Structure 1
Amino acid sequence: MKRKIYKSYIAIATALALLTGCGDDFINQPPTDSIVDANFYKTDAQVLAASAPLYNAVWFAYNDKASHGIGDGRGGVLSANYSYQLENITFRTTGATAENYASWRAFYNVVGQSNVLINNLNKYAGADVTDGIKQHAIAEARFMRGLAYAYLVQNYGAVPVFTDNIAILQDTTVTRNTVESVWEFICRDIRYGTIHLPETPVAKGRLTKWAAEGMLAKMYLTRAGVGQSGSRNQTYLDSARVLAKDVIENSGASLMADYEELFKMKNNNNSETLFALQWVYNGDWGTQNSVQAFLAFSSSITGTADGWGGDLGASIYMLSKYEGLVQNGIFGSTPDKRRKASFMLPGDHYSYIHQQVLDNNGNSVIQELVVPTGASGYNTRAWIKKYVVGRAEDNDGKVLQQRTEIQTYMLRLADVYLVYAEAILGNNASTSDAEALKYFNMVRTRAGVPEKTSLTWDDIFNERHLEFAMEGQMWYDFVRLHYYDPQRAYDILSNQHRGFTRITPDDPDAATSWKIEPDPDYTGQTTFSVGDGNFNLPIPENELAKAPSLRREPVPYVFQ
């Protein structure tokens, strides 16, 4: 079923890409292919084929590099010296930064193509299309559109909201809408899915009611801080708590027993997955997951000409979150199983990833990955592991250059557990609520770290670092805080040590502990001041040039 759907939507994705995938504007000419008229949408299968590209192609430009540049780079997870991510890591992102424009374009691509699907289904759905499938596809499109606007408003603040691509093309005075009204639009869109999506997916990887409820819970948790000062709106906190609990108790989802198994291609759409982008390694460009190419430290472990992530590594700020790992220059280790699944330290072994090396005779051989140590006995990077899956032979042949098909997590059950705990904590300084502790500690138990007997905001915030590092999440956790306590967000971000490390293993061939310290040879800046002037991403310059009205003061969105 899955393969048939993917093969059939390639032509659809190509046609729909005419809407926003080409040209410089965030909305271009609408597609004119026959797929958008009465010749299509005649059967349930055609309707599902039409919504399938919403699970990959429209998100590609964000997933490719921007998601970890913005989500992890700006969030303080990463350090770099010369990487393309440097502007994000150092808070010098401009309107011309490539990953900034890629994000804006991708999010409005999702919006535009969701609008096409919704409008065409309402106009052209044939008599043989069942109402359930029609509403299902509309719910998929509204969920995706709502999520795209959530990324837009969290990154750019006030942004234009539209539901009619033709109307926006004819509007020369397009203006931004207020943050509050954009959030109302987001919640309305995603809430639609809680009613019209099924409890079990119509095909593997498709959205369900539980994905919509879990995502809406997360949206309410963030929205609880919008327009607030010092504390959050209790009504939205309560809504987040109720929705998260329903997912936890009734969805049938469960945590994977082994955290590291989450990030192997063979475990796509596992028991913990509520919503993930669905990729194919051998489809048209834009239907694959390309992130391994930019995160893997060397081509020796990808088996292709990519593997361009040698300059990227975990920041000292991030490594310090692992209990016992960074101990002021003495050798430390950590029981936290998430570290090895997220970042490679010299001397780490990965039995399921292989590398090409030269033997003592200078011959090329393939062996189990042992993360190398430099000639001086140390390394200056804790290289990225998460979403690095290895060579073709490690993945049933499903790896090509810049192409894998590991799913991209957009929402997994562990996230709902932590949303639930934070919604219960709410505006309190701490909580010993049994439910909050139960699910918070389930996340920690899997990681192999001790349970807690009470929770504070810092406990949950730090746990999110450890659980979701390199999943493009950290920046949005800071945005959630910034809505109701901006100075605290500025203070944490401005004091993060984003410089390089010197990592010396106790054994370069089988390390069990490491000396981790700031690299004494690094003389560059390690902290970066963050404030109101550089917190939001700037709207891309070419968009402002083509639509100067985007500079106007935002107005409330008018709901029909």
Structure 2
Amino acid sequence: MKINIKAFLSLTVLLAASFSACKKEYFNRPPKSQITLDNYYQTAEQVRTSTTILYSAPWFGYCTKGGWAITEISGGNGRTWSPDIINFQDFSVTGTNFEISSVWNSLFIEVAQANGIINNLPTKVPSSVDQAVVKNALGEAHLWRALAYFHLVRIFGPVPIIENSLDYVDNYQVNRHVVTDVYKFIVNDLKYAEANCSPAVRTGSSPSNARVSSGSASALLAKVYLYMQDYPNARTQAEKVIASKEFKLYGIDVPGKTFSDLFLTANNNNEESIVALQWTGSGGYGRGNPFQGAVALNGIITGTGDGYGQMAPTFDLMDKFDATDLRRKPTYMIPGDKYNEINQASGGYTVPSDANSQGTHAQVKKYIVGTPADNGGVGGAQSSANNTYMMRYADVYLILAEAVMAGAKTSTDPVALNAINTIRRRAGLSNLTVIDRSGFVPNPDYTPGSNEKGKRWPTNYKDDLLDERRREFAFENDYFFDLMRLDGFNKTEHPIALQIIKQQDKGTSDNSNPPQRYGNGYLTNVTSANLLFPIPATEIVADPKLKDPPVAYPFK
């Protein structure tokens, strides 16, 4: 059932049951249990567990398809023929699209859940509960609310800022707020989280690493400041996180581990994880990670009857990987690749020669973890148990490099070089001696009318940092947002992003070996207006104010 703005503004019950109780009729009947806000928060453990919901269930609607359809398919890393998400490929999504509604509802449910904690804990928790526990829970809620808004503003632009959902239950007509104020709100929330969440030092892969910390807030602040092009603050926050030594890079700070190991269920909540969604894998549909079920090539991989191959890598993404890049095989599969961690009972899984679900003779590997037996007996149909990263420590290094450059076209600064080269060394690539972000440069291989790799366009976009981020975080729901910030975080026109998107090869090929591309995947009609996704039509019907120009937010 779709949730209009009145419904999600009412979602303030904090237990996991509240996620399944988002039907309108729920708000018109008294609770059947004896648990109320006045008697629930009586112990430190009850306060701690009140934030658990923020780490999983509300995000499910974002993670099922809409989130990766926006970031990976619209971004140009993935392509599809699947009719329910193909509109994200050519930017023809309308307000009636089911997945865009799922994204909107999912993120505002997260906001409502966080609001419930933020507004109730200060008055409902007795003085007998350790105030450090209360402060940490409030910090967690502020961080997750900030993260939800960080997604909302990057997808929809101006959106309503809602601090207390109950304020709008009877009058749910709300305006959108200007982008700069949404970012200010995000920064304020993250500063609160940084000051109130407990510090941590992460060791090994452990459930004790699952919850966010003050360092998690610092890292997210670095990323938000980078988007705002506030380079001094982005650098300060990134250097703070690195100096804290709370997090560690697999394969650099953690010997014996590799980039590939980051995406195994056994390594959930590892030292590189800054913020991650926590999926149970044993709770059925809606409680586990749905990504593998949607994009894995087949049921042999999943062992649970799903594996629909609904997204495959584009040629444009594959072109960015050097043959020696150790991230290639853990990111996408090509025929002949063998993965010992999948289908272990049969000696591993080898990608068949005819693997070609979406026309590019390659399949997604990242987050594809295999059968329940491959994962300690956990997992089910569209319900894997591997975490979804919302931010990894590698991001902090690349943020630092970009913040040090502070908009410069090239740099030989040793701090910036060390940061990007640390990530490159883990990938088995040589060190850069200069970071080049020249932008559009003449293409010496340009051949008018050619469909061959690298010859179709008179200019190429040279950006070592953007390319490194793309290789590092492909299929981690980030690349489209990276493209959109190239022209400025609060702009309505996106000439750089548009030109890059128009030059992406999202097309298909024949069955030759190697495959010959058809050159049929280039966009010509996309405009800046297409790059901002529409608010769901049902929301506008329920709240016509969402059509009005955004207004300033009255900060307290």
| Letter paired with 1:38 | D
| Residue 494 (structure 2) aligned to one of 478, 483, 486 | 486
**Which residue number corresponds to residue 527 of structure 1?**
523
Name which of structure 1's ranges 213-222 and 478-487 shifts more when overlaid on structure 2.
Answer: 478-487
Report the CA distance between 1:31 and its aligned residue.
9.1
Report the CA distance between 1:312 and its aligned residue.
2.2
1:539 aligns with 2:535: yes
| Letter paired with 1:145 | R
For the residue of structure 1 that corresponds to 2:366, the secondary structure is: coil
For the residue of structure 2 that corresponds to 1:173, the secondary structure is: coil
1:205–1:276 Cα contact (<8 Å) kept: yes
For the residue of structure 1 that corresponds to 2:276, the secondary structure is: strand
Q: How far does the alpha carbon of each residue in 1:264-321 deviate from its partner, in whole angstroms, 9 at most, with x for none?
A: 1011111211111111111264321111100101011111111111x42111111111
For the residue of structure 2 that corresponds to 1:239, the secondary structure is: helix
Q: Distance in 2 between matches of 1:369 and 1:277?
A: 27
**Which residue number corresponds to residue 169 of structure 2?**
169
Report the CA distance between 1:529 and its aligned residue.
3.5
Report the CA distance between 1:163 and its aligned residue.
1.0
1:393 aligns with 2:373: yes
**Which residue number corresponds to residue 389 of structure 2?**
409
Task: Evaluate the alpha carbon distance shift between residue 341 and residue 165 of structure 1 in structure 2; reply closer, same or farther with a 3 A threshold.
Answer: same
Task: Evaluate the alpha carbon distance shift between residue 543 and residue 345 of structure 1 in structure 2; reply closer, same or farther with a 3 A threshold.
Answer: same
Task: Evaluate the alpha carbon distance shift between residue 197 and residue 141 of structure 1 in structure 2; reply closer, same or farther with a 3 A threshold.
Answer: same
Q: Distance in 2 between matches of 1:119 and 1:112?
A: 10
For the residue of structure 2 that corresponds to 1:300, the secondary structure is: helix
| Residue 12 (structure 1) aligned to one of 12, 15, 26 | 15
1:353 aligns with 2:352: no
| Letter paired with 1:459 | D
Report the CA distance between 1:442 and its aligned residue.
0.9
1:476 aligns with 2:481: yes
Task: Evaluate the alpha carbon distance shift between residue 266 and residue 528 of structure 1 in structure 2; reply closer, same or farther with a 3 A threshold.
Answer: farther
**Which residue number corresponds to residue 359 of structure 1?**
none
2:337–2:351 Cα contact (<8 Å) kept: yes
1:142–1:189 Cα contact (<8 Å) kept: yes
2:284–2:380 Cα contact (<8 Å) kept: no
Name which of structure 1's ranges 365-374 and 287-296 shifts more when overlaid on structure 2.
Answer: 365-374
For the residue of structure 2 that corresponds to 1:166, the secondary structure is: helix
**Which residue number corresponds to residue 358 of structure 1?**
none
| Letter paired with 1:539 | I
Task: Evaluate the alpha carbon distance shift between residue 222 and residue 35 of structure 1 in structure 2; reply closer, same or farther with a 3 A threshold.
Answer: farther
Q: Distance in 2 between matches of 1:253 and 1:136?
A: 19
Q: Distance in 2 between matches of 1:63 and 1:444?
A: 28
Report the CA distance between 1:381 and its aligned residue.
2.8
Task: Evaluate the alpha carbon distance shift between residue 259 and residue 23 of structure 1 in structure 2; reply closer, same or farther with a 3 A threshold.
Answer: farther
Identity of aligned pairs, percent?
32
| Letter paired with 1:210 | G
**Which residue number corresponds to residue 336 of structure 1?**
325
1:214–1:243 Cα contact (<8 Å) kept: yes
Report the CA distance between 1:111 and its aligned residue.
0.4
* Mapping 1:112-511, distance limit 5 Å: 112-200=112-200, 203-224=208-229, 236-257=230-251, 258-283=258-283, 285-309=285-309, 311-323=310-322, 334-354=323-343, 366-374=346-354, 380-457=360-437, 458-483=463-488, 486-502=494-510
Q: How far does the alpha carbon of each residue in 1:355-404 deviate from its partner, in whole angstroms, 9 at most, with x for none?
A: 8xxxxxxxxx945211011299x974311111110012211111211111
2:354–2:361 Cα contact (<8 Å) kept: no
Task: Evaluate the alpha carbon distance shift between residue 490 and residue 380 of structure 1 in structure 2; reply closer, same or farther with a 3 A threshold.
Answer: closer
Q: Distance in 2 between matches of 1:30 and 1:167?
A: 19
Task: Evaluate the alpha carbon distance shift between residue 176 and residue 28 of structure 1 in structure 2; reply closer, same or farther with a 3 A threshold.
Answer: farther
1:315–1:501 Cα contact (<8 Å) kept: no
1:48 aligns with 2:37: no
Q: Distance in 1 between matches of 2:242 and 2:540?
A: 43
1:98 aligns with 2:98: yes
Report the CA distance between 1:23 and its aligned residue.
5.0
For the residue of structure 1 that corresponds to 2:497, the secondary structure is: helix
Q: Distance in 2 between matches of 1:15 and 1:126?
A: 23
Q: Distance in 2 between matches of 1:353 and 1:139?
A: 38
Q: How far does the alpha carbon of each residue in 1:151-193 deviate from its partner, in whole angstroms, 9 at most, with x for none?
A: 1111111110111112122224311111111110010001111
Q: Distance in 2 between matches of 1:45 and 1:23?
A: 30
Q: How far does the alpha carbon of each residue in 1:64-121 deviate from its partner, in whole angstroms, 9 at most, with x for none?
A: 2222111111110011223532111121111111221111001100100101111110
1:30–1:165 Cα contact (<8 Å) kept: no
Report the CA distance between 1:16 and its aligned residue.
5.0
| Letter paired with 2:224 | M
Q: How far does the alpha carbon of each residue in 1:133-154 deviate from its partner, in whole angstroms, 9 at most, with x for none?
A: 1111111111111111111111
2:193–2:214 Cα contact (<8 Å) kept: yes
For the residue of structure 2 that corresponds to 1:353, the secondary structure is: coil
2:421–2:432 Cα contact (<8 Å) kept: yes
Report the CA distance between 1:342 and its aligned residue.
0.8
Q: Distance in 1 between matches of 2:541 and 2:272?
A: 44
Report the CA distance between 1:467 and its aligned residue.
0.3
For the residue of structure 2 that corresponds to 1:199, the secondary structure is: coil
2:73–2:80 Cα contact (<8 Å) kept: no
Task: Evaluate the alpha carbon distance shift between residue 369 and residue 53 of structure 1 in structure 2; reply closer, same or farther with a 3 A threshold.
Answer: same
Mind listing any 5+ residue stretches in structure 1 that lack a counterpart? 1-9, 225-235, 324-333, 356-364, 506-514
1:381–1:502 Cα contact (<8 Å) kept: no
For the residue of structure 1 that corresponds to 2:299, the secondary structure is: coil
**Which residue number corresponds to residue 72 of structure 2?**
72
1:346–1:504 Cα contact (<8 Å) kept: no
